[in-house]
Structure 1
Amino acid sequence: MTTAHDGLLTIDLSAAGDNYLALSRRLGRGSRCGAVVKADAYGLGMSKLAPAFFRRGCRDFFVATLDEGLALRRLLGDDAAIFVLTGVRAGREQECVRAGLVPNVFTLQQLRAWMEVCDQAGIQAACGLKVDSGMTRLGMTADEFGRLLRDRGLLSAANISVIMSHLACADDPQHPQNRRQLDRFREAGERLRDELPELQLSLANSSGIYLGEEYHFDLARPGSALYGVNPRPGEENPMSAVVNLSLPVVQQRHVADECWVGYGATQRAEPGSWLAVARGGYADGIIRAQGNRGCGWACGQRLPMVGRVSMDSTTFDISGLAGPERAGLAHIEVLNDAVTVDEVAGYAGTIGYEVLTSLGHRYTRRYTGS
């Protein structure tokens, strides 16, 4: 959806594809690289990005919901494996079976329900099993997993193709939880593989890929790093920037006397300073918490945000620009190679994932690259 908002969100498909290849090259021999395209490819457009990854050789895709999976199947056809990370709701299993999607199950009850639907359809459709290795989110508990291993009849009848878990602290390589989760997941995978020799194991997310080869197993599933978020916080970002967001300047003003700027009068503008108001605010994903601390970019300079971010506008101090630069100032970029997703997340007290998924739909979206 595009409107006459005039803000321009540019998404570089080539950069995203290059990120996929860079992550693939990090993996050990025998490990495949998938792509997480849930939440509309982190808000950037699954219909454009999933084919870009497919063209770079990706054949394993991860979505969050059945509807995302159905849309992706229509988009990519039958040559892609599509995993539904949060499973499938009761009553919609037949749709999942017909589309050839692989839902995660987290409980014995879900596993039996999936098998019953497959029996009714007369096919043995694959499912994934997610176990809780220490994040205490979605995943089969240790007690239920033990009962599953003891139920040989259920194991032989279930078509579990992959076992997964999710790392809680992969972006902190020194955190002891990484090793604890690795050990628990490896043990669970080995015990299940004793019964299901063809089973695949999947643990590593974007940051998990950088923890080392022992975390890679058969299938890695990066998400945020594909879209330019740094998988190694505190170190140089190995990923290419994917997004550029440019806001139109709708007013400039010269400050004659000291004054307050924005809601709540939280910041002063000094006499003699210059301000620019750009169209784009928290309704467009310019996260409100950036107020008084974030920045934009124009003419090779960072331009401080002044005052609180409004719903539809954001104010910048452009005093550092030369007169001709101010006169020609038509747009201010708030995401680019210099003002990165991770930097913006730091201003807003959040993570790059939220910055991307918050980007609004009033921008004109332009896709570059192939």
Structure 2
Amino acid sequence: MSTQSAVASSGLHAAPALGRRPVARIDGWALKSNWRSVAIRSGQARTGAAVKADAYGLGAEMAAKALFGAGCRDFFVAWAEEGVRIREAMPGKNFRVFVLQGLDAQAAALCRLHRLIPVLSTPDDVALWREAALGSFPGVCAVQLETGMNRLGLDEEDARAAAKLAREGAIDLALVMSHLASGDDPASGQSVVQLERFRALSALFPHVGRSLANSAGVFLGPDYHFDLTRPGIALYGGETALDGDGTLRPVVTLQAHVLQIRWAAKGEAIGYGATAKLKARRRIATLGIGYADGYLRSASAPDGATGPQMFAAGRRVPVIGRVSMDLTTIDVTDVPEDALAPGDAVEVFGPNVSVDETARHAGTIAYEMLTSMGSRVQRQWV
């Protein structure tokens, strides 16, 4: 079966052959649909989008354009350089870009030059931003409050000092925000504590927009929405368990290509360290993908039964043996011999095997699976 036939039979959009390197097919329509679904969940709040880490590995420029087309006007990045890329990808468009971390003199200059909004999380951030604005109108900024995560944010004393500066016109605040540490685990009770803390501290900044909810926070309900929500992983098709209505769609289909298929006899071993020893004669396909491409070594499966699965020629097949830098082996004994051949595409994760499922078997989360996709993985928007 050809690569094109394999793509068609697995329900993917047909696309030109791209050789045998791994391919991430990114469904822009699904990304837009997910943003709109989250926007509906956000009620009266504006809905932004986290496009940091190259839009979770998918390509920040393309993702931002798609999200802008869906209606998004607030984007969140980690570093100022990421924000510059978003600005340059959509010249002349009216939207806001918030920079979540890393404010130094160079970042402050980039923020002022490219109309980026730095999120000030420390007294040093506040002082640096004020210094950068001397002699001109204060640049627009945001403030992050510490509400219980103990990662980034102003404590109460520093928040009061920032509020005083805002009242005096020394800083021009566009947003007050904090971040939920356990939004995906409502039973922990931490989100309720953070919510109350955020309400108390954000009251120091009347008439300034407030933001608390990440993807998980959106699904915690209206109390967490405030004026602006900041979904991330939910937009890209991960953590779909948050969505009890099943409206979130898979966005990324990661494909690898078959390089070789061989029969291995009972008693033989598969891969590095001989971790998988066969109890019966099995048909093994070698794929051109490994941990250098972001398919994590922790996805290795010593027995082909307890590890992750992939989707080949219309059926699920198990990973077997140790994942290596460039190669991964799967057991295709149950696939008809004439249904799979070298050059054919196999779904690593996507609509048939979710990225969440794959991540669980690798002992991690969808965020890491997506952001770990290496430069050898070809991104193709469909």
Maintained 8 Å contact 1:167/1:208: yes
Structure 1 letter corresponding to 2:293: D
Maintained 8 Å contact 2:122/2:152: no
CA distance in 2, matches of 1:244, 1:262: 25
Q: Does 1:59 align with 2:68?
A: no
CA distance in 2, matches of 1:267, 1:235: 38
- SS at 2:277 equivalent: strand
CA distance in 1, matches of 2:166, 2:94: 31
1:334–1:114 Cα change, 3 Å: same
Instruction: State the Cα distance separating 1:138 from its structure 2 match.
Output: 0.8
Maintained 8 Å contact 1:4/1:364: no
1:118 corresponds to which residue?
Answer: 133
1:76 corresponds to which residue?
Answer: 90
1:94 corresponds to which residue?
Answer: 109
Q: Which runs of 5+ in 1 are unaligned?
A: none
1:186 corresponds to which residue?
Answer: 199
2:7 corresponds to which residue?
Answer: none
CA distance in 2, matches of 1:90, 1:3: 43
1:96–1:281 Cα change, 3 Å: same
Q: Structure 1 length as normaliser, TM-score?
A: 0.92
CA distance in 2, matches of 1:141, 1:266: 50
Q: Does 1:259 align with 2:268?
A: yes
1:170 corresponds to which residue?
Answer: 183
Return the match for 2:278 from 269, 286, 295: 269
Maintained 8 Å contact 2:103/2:125: no
1:49 corresponds to which residue?
Answer: 63
- SS at 1:138 equivalent: coil
- SS at 2:280 equivalent: coil
Maintained 8 Å contact 1:210/1:231: no
Return the match for 1:290 from 299, 305, 310: 299
1:76–1:270 Cα change, 3 Å: same
1:40 corresponds to which residue?
Answer: 54
CA distance in 2, matches of 1:334, 1:227: 16
CA distance in 2, matches of 1:219, 1:252: 51
Maintained 8 Å contact 2:266/2:282: no
Q: Considering only aligned residues, what root-mean-square deviation do their CA atoms show, in Å?
A: 2.0
Count of aligned positions: 360
Task: Tell me the percent identity.
Answer: 38
- SS at 2:187 equivalent: coil
CA distance in 2, matches of 1:317, 1:203: 45
1:49-95 per-residue CA deviation (whole Å, 9 max, x = no partner) reads: 10000011111111110100111111123411010011421344222
1:153–1:281 Cα change, 3 Å: closer
- SS at 1:10 equivalent: strand
Maintained 8 Å contact 1:33/1:220: yes
CA distance in 1, matches of 2:170, 2:66: 37
2:219 corresponds to which residue?
Answer: 210
1:278 corresponds to which residue?
Answer: 287
CA distance in 1, matches of 2:235, 2:224: 18
Instruction: State the Cα distance separating 1:260 from its structure 2 match.
Output: 1.2
1:310-345 per-residue CA deviation (whole Å, 9 max, x = no partner) reads: 111000011111232245882221011121110011
CA distance in 2, matches of 1:273, 1:234: 39
Q: Structure 2 length as normaliser, TM-score?
A: 0.89
- Aligned pairs for 1:343-354 (under 5 A) are 343-354=357-368
Return the match for 2:123 from 97, 108, 114: 108
Instruction: State the Cα distance separating 1:109 from its structure 2 match.
Output: 2.9
1:104–1:113 Cα change, 3 Å: same
Maintained 8 Å contact 1:133/1:181: yes
Runs of 4+ residues over 6 Å off in structure 1: none
Instruction: State the Cα distance separating 1:233 from its structure 2 match.
Output: 4.9
Q: Which runs of 5+ in 2 are unaligned?
A: 1-16, 302-306
Maintained 8 Å contact 1:3/1:362: no
Structure 2 letter corresponding to 1:356: L
1:252–1:128 Cα change, 3 Å: same
- Aligned pairs for 1:232-247 (under 5 A) are 232-233=241-242, 237-247=246-256
1:92-148 per-residue CA deviation (whole Å, 9 max, x = no partner) reads: 42221121110011122321221221123x122110000111111011122322344
Identify which range, 202-211 or 330-339, moves more after superposition.
Answer: 330-339
Q: Does 1:200 align with 2:209?
A: yes
Instruction: State the Cα distance separating 1:257 from its structure 2 match.
Output: 3.4
Maintained 8 Å contact 1:83/1:101: yes
- SS at 2:85 equivalent: helix
